[in-house]
Chain A
Amino acid sequence: MAVLPLAYLAVRSFERGGGVVWDVLARTRTAELALRSLSLAVAVTAACLVLGVLSAWLVTRSDLVGRRAFGVLLVLPLAVPSYVAGFTWISVAPELTGFAGAFVVLTLVSYPYVLLPVAAALRTADPAVEEVARSLGRTSRQVFFSVTLRQIRPAALAGGLLVALYVLSDFGAVSLMRYEAFTLGIYTSYRATFDRTPAAVLGLVLVVLAIALTVGERRARGMTAHRGRRQPLTVSLGRARVPALAGTAVLIVLTLGVPVVSLVWWLVAGTSTFEVADLLATAGNTVAVSAFGAVLTLLLALPVGILAARHQGRLARGVELASFAGHALPGITVGLALVFFGIRFAPALYQTIPMLAFAYAVLFLPLAVGAVRTGVAHAPPVLEDVSRSLGHGRWRTGLRVTLPLSAPGILAGTALVFLTCAKELPATLLLRPTGVDTLATELWTRTEVAAYAAAAPYAAVLLVVAAIPAVVLDRFLRQDDTGGER
């Protein structure tokens, strides 16, 4: 079902013959757009790899003062939507636009995609391997480059892939920074002319780029590191302590300080003319649309997730692959595909909330499937066997054992999908019913016309909304730590 709109996009592209498609592809503008998107993706990914690996090592392996607190603070930027970060940066430094602007903003919001998997890999990698290398005469610096980096390579590459996909499909930051990347090109092309074929073709090219990246990363990933049971030793920073601390602090100021301070400044000092009623109405729209999207996504994800949890092997691997493919599906392409699909086959649904909810479902299904699978995995089949041997039938077992055990994970996943829907920009922009504005679209529209003060309250509410999944998931994971012991 997720493939359907895309297939239609392909059909729509070739409808008027391969010649038109070729024309669009052969335009220098297409090549320019691709080059811009790719160069941005490469630059941001490289910067994120450096920042992510360094910060991950600092919070897991060094004796950095307050590394636990830094560990949390360094991940938080993940909760800042790129267009909110973009808005705060241009409102602070209007001269920061184009490639530089997009580069700075995207790097600052997406480096945690590298930090998280690398920190996990550093925590679980077997320290014995490093100790053996030391005992064979390597210095600790040599060990880092010859052993540790190799151990974390798969994690760093997986994180790098997420960053690259995020940059390729990002619409908010590049549109606010007026950097004409692929996504913005698609949007402009869609809005500018009545001939929508070029937009469809460009949308497909974007998907192809994303898939190529995913496949490339799988090839390069290599072996996963051997897991150890012991806590690795911490390395004393020595003379590097002050620069490390200062660097981390600067990073946090840039990623969190700038957005928060600029928002507060605009809220307090701005001669804003916003209406509380408008803000509330928009927030209400956001909640309604996102709730609809989250529930639909969950309903579609339940059967797939349960199947994937209970039947290991090919299906489970398929789901894992699909979750990466899901990251590779840019919101703008899905939005566009549904626009075409809706106009042709379901005009009654075009620009309605159900259609928008369906777009969310296509975009975030992999996220929900993952959550359902994790949830159901908390209710191992042996517990169901025990329950049945104690005289309870299938239904009562489901109600008394499987459901209570898997509900927290599924609920956390649904909350995550809900909040991701609330942050989504490009598909919402294309598919929302006329007159229905969400926090994301309002913020975007107002920033487009440089009404920074008017945009600030929307950004503030969005930031609060976006910070919630971090808290919910953190809770869930913590509970998992203590409850999972057997």
Chain B
Amino acid sequence: MSGLTVKRLVAGYGGEPVLREVDFEVPEGRLLAVLGPSGCGKTTLLRVLAGFHPIASGEVWLGERQLTSDVPPERRGIGIVPQEGALFPHLSVAGNVGFGLSRGERGDRVEELLDLVGLGGFGSRMPAQLSGGQAQRVALARALAPRPGVVLLDEPFSALDAGLREELRADVRATLKAAGATALLVTHDQEEALGIADHVVVLRDGAVAQFARPQTIYASPADLGVALFVGEAVTFAGVARSGLVETPLGTLPTSGDGPGTVLLRPEQLILGSTGVPSTVDDVLFHGHDATVLLRLADGTRVRSRVQGRISVRAGDAVSVSVDGTVLFFAGTP
């Protein structure tokens, strides 16, 4: 296993660049998530790294080795886990996992990997007999078998239903860590990216909008676009002056100066007996928590995320206060 470094990478179709000077690195043994809406260049990035799409300019390094466009996919040592697994339908599970191994290596290594992904004893099954989650685990085992330098995962959980997705996400992370694998995962799901990765690249229109740890991306997004993309938000237009900004929720502490946009996360809005008076419009119950839709005295609508027991109902009058500092992005949106 080795680290992956991408420097000023440009690639595209015809004359149209899809990736524009992309920079990031994945340290050895770490998991990087590339997060972006569809059409941002995620798939092109994966295809360039795996060797299926040429580099227009820039560099890709795997450890000490530079991967130019001349290095064909079969000599890169980069494993791929496509969407929905893409297992070879004519081979058994063991045949799939052993596909990238020489005859001599197969037996033990295949068993070892099936155990690693929690599918010990499934070797003789055919892909058609597997559930979606199992197929995805086999695809991961297959990619890890030849001990690649990096594993690329393309939206690996998108075809699974919500409950299974969460469970598999944790298992995949554990498996990659246990194998000591360097991995890069692309996704359009911010919860998935923030939840699984050590580092996150937010890709927007083919360029890196932010490259940081998940906590940093959520707490200090590089700009308003990233902030809105990585989580729910309550926004107001406002003017910041000497560390304070005037909002419908009162005067709040912030950084920045001049006109701009104030951004709060719904969990920063606390319902209680102090603060700005408001009326509850509706309560959306999610099970583990709930979103309370509020209307302030001046008619402004905001949403608050409440953990634990919900004690308010539509029509109730409550007071709202704000917890912590709020984000401020200068400039008119």
CA distance A229 to B145 in the complex (A): 38
Measured between beta carbons, the chain A residues less than 8 angstroms from B143 are 389-390
Given the interface pairs A482-B128, A486-B135, the reply to whether A389 lies near B86 with Cβ below 8 Å is no
A303 CB → nearest B CB, Å: 23
Q: Is the CB of A386 within 8 A of B80?
A: yes
Contact mask B64-84 → A, CB, 8 Å, 1/0?
000000001111101110101
Q: Is the CB of B128 within 8 A of A389?
A: no
Is B50 interfacial (CB-CB < 8 Å)?
Answer: yes
CA distance A380 to B83 in the complex (A): 13
Given the interface pairs A383-B88, A385-B52, A404-B90, the reply to whether A392 lies near B82 with Cβ below 8 Å is no
Q: Is the CB of A405 within 8 A of B90?
A: yes
Is B100 interfacial (CB-CB < 8 Å)?
Answer: yes
A392 CB → nearest B CB, Å: 6
Measured between beta carbons, the chain B residues less than 8 angstroms from A275 are none
Is B133 interfacial (CB-CB < 8 Å)?
Answer: no
Measured between beta carbons, the chain B residues less than 8 angstroms from A405 are 88-90
CA distance A485 to B75 in the complex (A): 31
Measured between beta carbons, the chain B residues less than 8 angstroms from A386 are 80, 82, 86, 88, 142
Count of A interface residues, CB-CB < 8 Å = 22
Is A270 interfacial (CB-CB < 8 Å)?
Answer: no
Interface bin, chain B: 20 to 34
Is B146 interfacial (CB-CB < 8 Å)?
Answer: yes
Contact mask B288-311 → A, CB, 8 Å, 1/0?
000000000000000000000000
Is A136 interfacial (CB-CB < 8 Å)?
Answer: no
Q: Which residue of A lies closest to B135 (CB)?
A: A486
Given the interface pairs A385-B50, A483-B89, the reply to whether A390 lies near B135 with Cβ below 8 Å is no
Measured between beta carbons, the chain B residues less than 8 angstroms from A383 are 86, 88
Is B236 interfacial (CB-CB < 8 Å)?
Answer: no
Is B99 interfacial (CB-CB < 8 Å)?
Answer: yes
Is A310 interfacial (CB-CB < 8 Å)?
Answer: no
Contact mask A388-414 → B, CB, 8 Å, 1/0?
111111000000110011000000000
| Contacting residues of chain B (38-67) with chain A, CB-CB under 8 angstroms | 50-52
Q: Is the CB of A389 within 8 A of B88?
A: no
| Contacting residues of chain A (356-401) with chain B, CB-CB under 8 angstroms | 378, 380, 382-383, 385-393, 400-401
Given the interface pairs A483-B128, A486-B84, the reply to whether A389 lies near B90 with Cβ below 8 Å is no
Q: Is the CB of B72 within 8 A of A385?
A: no
Given the interface pairs A385-B52, A385-B73, A486-B84, the reply to whether A390 lies near B100 with Cβ below 8 Å is yes
B51 CB → nearest A CB, Å: 8
CA distance A386 to B95 in the complex (A): 14
Q: Which of B74, B79, B80, B142 has the most CB of A within 10 A?
A: B74
B142 CB → nearest A CB, Å: 7
Q: Which of A378, A390, A391, A485 has the most CB of B within 10 A?
A: A390
CA distance A141 to B45 in the complex (A): 56
CA distance A387 to B73 in the complex (A): 9
Q: Is the CB of A388 within 8 A of B72?
A: yes
Measured between beta carbons, the chain B residues less than 8 angstroms from A400 are 99
Measured between beta carbons, the chain B residues less than 8 angstroms from A486 are 84-87, 89, 127, 135
| Contacting residues of chain B (178-202) with chain A, CB-CB under 8 angstroms | none
Measured between beta carbons, the chain A residues less than 8 angstroms from B75 are 391
Given the interface pairs A482-B128, A483-B128, A485-B128, the reply to whether A389 lies near B89 with Cβ below 8 Å is no
A52 CB → nearest B CB, Å: 34
Q: Is the CB of B80 within 8 A of A385?
A: yes
Contact mask A437-473 → B, CB, 8 Å, 1/0?
0000000000000000000000000000000000000
Q: Is the CB of A388 within 8 A of B89?
A: no
CA distance A194 to B84 in the complex (A): 66
Q: Is the CB of B72 within 8 A of A393?
A: yes
CA distance A390 to B88 in the complex (A): 12
CA distance A380 to B88 in the complex (A): 10
CA distance A485 to B99 in the complex (A): 21
Q: Is the CB of B82 within 8 A of A382?
A: yes
B232 CB → nearest A CB, Å: 32
Q: Which of B78, B89, B135, B145 has the most CB of A within 10 A?
A: B89
B146 CB → nearest A CB, Å: 6
Measured between beta carbons, the chain A residues less than 8 angstroms from B88 are 383, 386-387, 401, 405
CA distance A397 to B186 in the complex (A): 26
CA distance A390 to B106 in the complex (A): 14
CA distance A482 to B128 in the complex (A): 8
CA distance A372 to B80 in the complex (A): 28
Measured between beta carbons, the chain B residues less than 8 angstroms from A388 are 51-52, 72-74
CA distance A404 to B90 in the complex (A): 7
A375 CB → nearest B CB, Å: 13
Q: Is the CB of A389 within 8 A of B99?
A: no
Residue ranges of B at the interface with A (Cβ–Cβ < 8 Å): 50-52, 72-76, 78-80, 82, 84-90, 99-100, 127-128, 135, 142-143, 145-146, 148
The 7 closest A-B CB pairs, nearest first, are: A390-B100, A388-B73, A389-B80, A382-B86, A388-B74, A404-B90, A391-B74
The 6 sampled A-B contact pairs (Cβ below 8 Å) are A388-B73, A389-B73, A389-B79, A389-B100, A483-B128, A486-B135
Known: A386-B142, A400-B99, A486-B135. 11 other contacts (CB 8 A): A385-B52, A385-B73, A387-B88, A389-B76, A390-B142, A391-B146, A392-B99, A393-B74, A401-B88, A405-B88, A486-B84
